Structure 1
């Protein structure tokens, strides 16, 4: 199977063995276009953060190309060496849809949906993590730095350390890490902790997540933890004794300049006006954009909005809610059920409150390119982020970065990582429907001067802590660990 495009070229295995920086994630940073079979850069903050670093260092990215059973030779894309990992249909079903997304995802998101524990899923998770570790080991230069990404690959750090004790290993956890009482339910809790402790630096979105992890390590493994440092026994290959792993918060962010630039484009601003006109030019546009996931609190948002219409506190002639729910994990039963529930709720509210000229909810079950998203952000007077649990929530930061006009109000769940940083948002507990209703009306009625004051502070925060700052901070700490290891 070839891997050719304008930017992609195949190369020999030898060319991939000299990478001083290796990123390992479930997916490669490219997608294959069904139209012309060419590779395209994937959207998303992680790619934006790490692509420049890999291009500068001549680094490599290990990941699955997104096609079950596809055996693709390593290739280069825009200056990055990409190393595909083969996953069969069974691997995708058991390791990805099963253990990663029906065991770890619900457990780590406070059991909003009940996790399922199946030994065959765990066996597949171990098997696939080993495959990723072997691919990383084969491509890393002597003394390289390897940065593993997210919950699908929690065993890779320790498996890689066994194979390559010479490399420095970082791991970043993009989703929440649960409180001990929840984490302790996992049948393979010790194995996962040991897997993560193969890393020299273990990064989390929030200080609370790093604390939850350290608590689980103390309770389950009995290791000494102090102020984010964890004493970990060395393997025999490392010469015995102990080493120190660091577990701390590194809040991820976005490519702020890219959103700012798009929002200033005349065509994007014109599109924002078009969107408002297509909605009947309401006084207020409320906006929500989420993956269709039970952690995002879409149902709570719809309930609050529907009750505001029923109470007469909002009028469909004045206010429209635009809800983008991009497709997600459509083969997982909990997600199929969620889609049915959301669409039934939208249909009921629209049936009750629509007029000939105005729609209560414009519901869009699609994904959109970045230009269209920025136009929607500019068109929205109030952004609703009502996640029940979220590692960070980058949508909140995208909205802020897009508001070059200084307007808009962000309503933000206190259960997102973003709530720790974005203190000028209107904070809500999405489980408190009465409080959520009050927050929506307060945002709609907020004086212009207060809106601008809050947005100015939010934009300063996001601008000063962008995604480049995140990657520099993490890799800087990893370099320090590498230096300490070399002198110890």
Structure 2
């Protein structure tokens, strides 16, 4: 692909992520357009970007497509082109077949290929070049997620005047696992180009600090890292070395809770929830799982636990039904194709062996849904099963809580999801312990209404008080402390009323947007291969 086009327009605040907050669409007549598709991150940052003349840098989601910068619904969009080879090696390869399994504690074995690493470096350089060209003097840049971990240092080398933040949306592994990566030092160097590095959990930040000490030998004190620099004007460490102070700590992400509750209160959504229960035969208990189809989500574990409960006679098939929504994800990757086959085989066996006429234990749905349908499912479900084997946060757990304005329902939550740090009134489980998971499901089924209500009210207060606006504001305030006085942002621009209005225009759930992105990537690869 050609280098990014220089832009004469400069921006004071730039957000960079692998994907843009818009999807390129082509109608039946061949006319091109852009569909705004905000998730939690976009909803949180749009008001700040508008208040601070911001721009969003990212890939359009399709290879071999070069687009000039444009405005979409008040956001300045600056596309970065990727070739088919870039998508295969940088995105599907190094990002999703090397970093993703490694950062999720090697649940599946990561692949290490030098060609993928070279592609990752090449694409990160392209992002850094584009950001450097469009950011004002003393501007502020916030880089998002594991696909762009080299960008902070590359950008600092090009533009030392900038204040740079980085947020890692997925877990960061313990140093014993991270050290397996052949390019472990280079990734750390890339991240340490930022002024503030954010993680989902305290443990993730601690693991990163340990990796910095163990692999780079740098000094850390609390949440601060002394990064050696060749700058006589920089502060000196206790060893007399000139250093730059980098802050690394956790900022747990959240959702726009207000918008989920508003949808749940709509009469038509409540009616749809009743229809869902009727379509299942009005069982006493409806259980729900909502995930991307990924080996980190523990889908096989919850299906096994539920199937054994029915087989053991602890649950009657007429009394309980499990709905499992599994959004398509990376289906051209062998590991994911195998996972789908395994799950669908398990569901088929359980339904065939244990189902009766008019009642099947599991309803398995391999596609995404609009946000209203997801909220109706949340209202229909007595029990929400979040059994991730490793998860940075898991926003589905928070969506379920936000939707339950009736203060009913039980959340069963894996201790290995970041949400478990906050949602302590959930029924916390170790999904690897199938026996204990079965006991927790049975306990949730039998839980008295008073206990359910007490737990849910506490969960809802936590989600409402710590919404996505608070998350973005806390990170930007930390970043602001590192910025020159003349370049400071106004993080308070995140206004709840604006947030609610923007959310109303979005009909995709957070989980469904991930599915949509995955489908777009798959569709474009299929088109290229054909």
TM-score using structure 1 length: 0.95
**Equivalence for 2:243:** 242
Aligned counterparts of 2:340 and 2:266: Cα–Cα separation in 1: 34
**Equivalence for 1:208:** 203
- C-alpha deviations, 1:284-310, integer Å up to 9, x for none? 000000000000000000110110011
**Equivalence for 1:73:** 68
The answer to whether structure 1 residue 51 and structure 2 residue 46 are counterparts is yes
Is the deviation greater in 353-362 or in 122-131?
353-362
Aligned counterparts of 2:223 and 2:6: Cα–Cα separation in 1: 41
**Equivalence for 2:79:** 84
Segments of 5+ residues of structure 2 without an aligned counterpart are 235-240, 489-530
CA 1:210–1:224 in 2, change beyond 3 Å: closer, same or farther? same
**Equivalence for 1:159:** 154
**Equivalence for 2:145:** 150
Aligned counterparts of 2:232 and 2:42: Cα–Cα separation in 1: 34
Aligned counterparts of 1:66 and 1:424: Cα–Cα separation in 2: 38
Q: Which residue of 93, 96, 101 maps to 2:91?
A: 96
Preserved contact between residue 415 and residue 428 of structure 2 (Cα < 8 Å): yes
CA 1:450–1:122 in 2, change beyond 3 Å: closer, same or farther? same
CA 1:12–1:268 in 2, change beyond 3 Å: closer, same or farther? farther
SS of equivalent to 1:14: coil
- C-alpha deviations, 1:12-44, integer Å up to 9, x for none? 9323x1x11100000000112343632112242
Segments of 5+ residues of structure 1 without an aligned counterpart are 1-10
**Equivalence for 1:367:** 368
Aligned counterparts of 2:404 and 2:434: Cα–Cα separation in 1: 27
Q: Per chain length, whose mean CA-contact separation is higher, i.e. which structure has more relative contact order (CA < 8 Å, sep 6+)?
A: 2
**Equivalence for 1:22:** 14
The answer to whether structure 1 residue 333 and structure 2 residue 328 are counterparts is no
* C-alpha displacement of 1:485: 11
- C-alpha deviations, 1:204-234, integer Å up to 9, x for none? 0000000000000001111100101000122
* C-alpha displacement of 1:331: 1.4
Preserved contact between residue 137 and residue 162 of structure 2 (Cα < 8 Å): yes
The answer to whether structure 1 residue 278 and structure 2 residue 279 are counterparts is yes
Aligned counterparts of 1:362 and 1:125: Cα–Cα separation in 2: 39
The answer to whether structure 1 residue 114 and structure 2 residue 106 are counterparts is no
Aligned counterparts of 1:420 and 1:72: Cα–Cα separation in 2: 42
Aligned counterparts of 1:33 and 1:110: Cα–Cα separation in 2: 36
SS of equivalent to 1:294: coil
**Equivalence for 2:323:** 322
Aligned counterparts of 2:71 and 2:166: Cα–Cα separation in 1: 24
Preserved contact between residue 165 and residue 237 of structure 1 (Cα < 8 Å): no
SS of equivalent to 2:425: coil
CA RMSD of aligned residues (A): 1.7
**Equivalence for 2:119:** 124
Aligned counterparts of 1:355 and 1:136: Cα–Cα separation in 2: 59
Preserved contact between residue 12 and residue 74 of structure 1 (Cα < 8 Å): no
Structure 1 residue ranges, 4+ long, deviating more than 3 angstroms after superposition: 34-37, 235-240, 483-487
Preserved contact between residue 128 and residue 151 of structure 2 (Cα < 8 Å): yes
Aligned counterparts of 1:444 and 1:473: Cα–Cα separation in 2: 38
CA 1:235–1:134 in 2, change beyond 3 Å: closer, same or farther? farther
Is the deviation greater in 95-104 or in 35-44?
35-44
Aligned counterparts of 1:29 and 1:237: Cα–Cα separation in 2: 41
Q: Which residue of 213, 217, 223 maps to 1:222?
A: 217
Preserved contact between residue 139 and residue 487 of structure 2 (Cα < 8 Å): no
How many pairs align?
A: 475
CA 1:425–1:391 in 2, change beyond 3 Å: closer, same or farther? same
Preserved contact between residue 58 and residue 79 of structure 1 (Cα < 8 Å): no
**Equivalence for 2:177:** 182
Aligned counterparts of 1:34 and 1:78: Cα–Cα separation in 2: 18
CA 1:89–1:237 in 2, change beyond 3 Å: closer, same or farther? farther
Aligned counterparts of 1:92 and 1:367: Cα–Cα separation in 2: 23
Aligned counterparts of 1:402 and 1:133: Cα–Cα separation in 2: 39
* C-alpha displacement of 1:46: 1.2
* C-alpha displacement of 1:359: 1.6
- C-alpha deviations, 1:432-464, integer Å up to 9, x for none? 000000000000100000000000000000000
**Equivalence for 1:257:** 258
Preserved contact between residue 150 and residue 171 of structure 1 (Cα < 8 Å): yes
The answer to whether structure 1 residue 192 and structure 2 residue 187 are counterparts is yes
Aligned counterparts of 2:388 and 2:406: Cα–Cα separation in 1: 26
* C-alpha displacement of 1:375: 0.5
* C-alpha displacement of 1:484: 8.2
The answer to whether structure 1 residue 422 and structure 2 residue 416 are counterparts is no
Preserved contact between residue 65 and residue 84 of structure 1 (Cα < 8 Å): yes
CA 1:466–1:292 in 2, change beyond 3 Å: closer, same or farther? same
